[in-house]
């Protein structure tokens, strides 16, 4: 990947944007981080909330059912997940809601995923079979087909389809959209205030290092700074404008959010966005994680995950400015969101039927979802170091819903 990036920079005749770097590193078809392997879970590079505990997906299922009731209990609903990872969240959601037939049998699952490797894992996690009952659908030459819209999840009997982007998902049906740790991986532009004005941070070849890359600043304003930075600063407070020296802007996040608002405003439904981020301008948050350890952003391109804080304030402004019949609520902390849905009662129910070892795992999973810092009952330094801290406040939840419904559960 490093050689490819250096060749790309030389072919372009100069440095590339941080957004272009992220897009190549994460989704290049041949060597992108997400494209050819399983990067999630304890054996991957990082762990997400659905990997920690089944309760997360179950609570998202509760939220989805409550929204369905607010929607007037439509007979058909598209439930869409953006960036489904291993499919764990959707599997837990379907499993947890399967006995509520009035709701579960209205669903058609649509997974927006560009990685062939992750699509295969999602197919297995959701226990999908083709409509004829086979686990795989051969073509005339005996090879597996790429048909993506005729599968059924054996978890709850609902149809499952895959798409490369949200635009491919059919319109005209009320929709529930889930975006969990999707936005943080979307490419960002980075800008820095300098004596020359606002310049863009770029990625260039480090000529003194045969394998290396380096950050440089543009000599002046760029097309991205004139378009994206100008738009973001329009929403900034006077204090932010006076004090801020670094700004990150994610144009794709703005576009996806605008598309979501148009969809739920026109077709009915709502979207749940859960990620880590701030309700203000984000500056210099880009990070790289490899095998659960932080590494330099320019090290091991293609072998480390890249992510950045989500600018929830910008997402709210996008929905409010769109004026397409959608309303936005939040963000609230993940702890507040899960607490409002009754995760503590679900924990009590699970612990009653668990072994001591299972109960401890459930308690730790619960703490990681809703707590802050180390779990308070861990005594030794070894235990504290072994168990990652809670993410209850660092992660936030934001919802976009049709403006006829009012605030959904958890945001009232």
pLDDT, one tens digit per residue, over 10-27 is 888 899 999 999 999 998
Q: Are the C-beta atoms of residues 400 and 326 closer than 8 Å to each other? A: yes
Q: pTM, whole model, 2 decimals?
A: 0.91
pLDDT of 143 reads: 39
The angle, 0 to 180 degrees and rounded to 10, between the axes of the packed helices 356-370 and 54-70 is: 60
Q: How many CB atoms lie within 10 A of CB 288?
A: 21
| CA 306 from centre of chain | 12
DSSP string, 344-372: HHHHHHHHHTS-HHHHHHHHHHHHHHH-E
Coil/strand/helix, residue 83: coil
Residue of 164, 176, 188 lying closest to 83 (CA atoms) = 164
Select the CATH number that applies to the domain covering 49-186+250-291+300-340+391-402 from these four: 3.40.50.880, 3.40.50.300, 3.40.50.150, 3.30.1490.20: 3.40.50.150
pLDDT, one tens digit per residue, over 35-77 is 766 555 455 444 667 788 899 999 999 999 999 999 999 999 9
Domain limits, CATH 3.40.50.150, in the chain = 49-186+250-291+300-340+391-402
Residue of 158, 100, 169, 107 lying closest to 129 (CA atoms) = 158
pLDDT, one tens digit per residue, over 311-334 is 999 999 999 999 899 999 999 999
């Amino acid at each position: 990947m490093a050689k490819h990036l250096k060749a790309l920079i030389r072919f372009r005749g100069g440095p590339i944007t941080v957004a272009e770097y992220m897009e190549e590193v994460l989704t290049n078809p041949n060597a992108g981080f997400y494209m050819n392997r399983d990067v999630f879970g304890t054996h991957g590079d990082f762990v997400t909330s659905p990997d920690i505990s089944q309760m997360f997906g179950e609570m998202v299922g509760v939220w989805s059912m409550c929204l369905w009731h607010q929607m007037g209990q439509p007979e058909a609903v598209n439930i869409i997940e953006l960036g489904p990872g291993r499919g764990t969240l959707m599997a837990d959601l379907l499993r947890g809601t399967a006995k509520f037939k009035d709701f579960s049998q209205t669903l058609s699952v649509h997974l927006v995923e560009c990685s062939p490797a992750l699509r295969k894992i999602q197919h297995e996690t959701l226990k999908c079979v083709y409509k004829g009952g086979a686990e795989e659908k051969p073509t005339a030459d005996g090879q597996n087909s790429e048909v993506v819209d005729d599968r059924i999840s054996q978890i709850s009997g609902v149809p499952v389809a895959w798409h490369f982007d949200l635009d491919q998902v059919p319109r005209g049906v009320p929709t529930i959209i889930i975006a969990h740790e999707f936005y943080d991986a979307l490419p960002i532009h980075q800008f820095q205030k300098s004596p020359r004005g606002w310049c863009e941070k770029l990625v260039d070849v480090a000529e003194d290092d045969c394998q290396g890359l380096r950050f440089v600043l543009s000599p002046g304003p760029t097309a991205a700074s004139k378009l994206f930075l100008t738009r973001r600063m329009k929403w900034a407070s006077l204090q932010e404008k006076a004090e801020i020296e670094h700004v990150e802007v994610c144009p794709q996040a703005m576009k996806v959010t605008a598309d979501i608002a148009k969809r739920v405003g026109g077709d009915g439904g709502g979207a749940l966005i859960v990620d880590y981020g701030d309700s203000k301008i984000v500056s210099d948050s880009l990070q790289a994680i490899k095998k659960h350890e932080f590494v330099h952003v320019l090290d091991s391109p293609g072998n480390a995950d890249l992510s950045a804080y989500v600018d929830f304030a910008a997402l709210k402004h996008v929905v409010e400015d769109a004026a397409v019949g959608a309303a936005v609520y939040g963000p609230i902390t993940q702890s507040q969101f899960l607490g409002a849905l009754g995760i503590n009662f679900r924990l009590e129910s699970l612990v009653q039927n668990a072994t001591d070892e299972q109960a401890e795992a459930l308690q730790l999973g619960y703490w990681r979802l809703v707590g802050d810092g180390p779990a308070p009952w861990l005594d030794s330094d070894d235990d504290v170091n072994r168990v990652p801290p809670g993410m209850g406040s660092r992660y936030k939840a934001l919802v976009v819903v049709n403006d006829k419904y009012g605030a959904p559960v958890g945001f009232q």
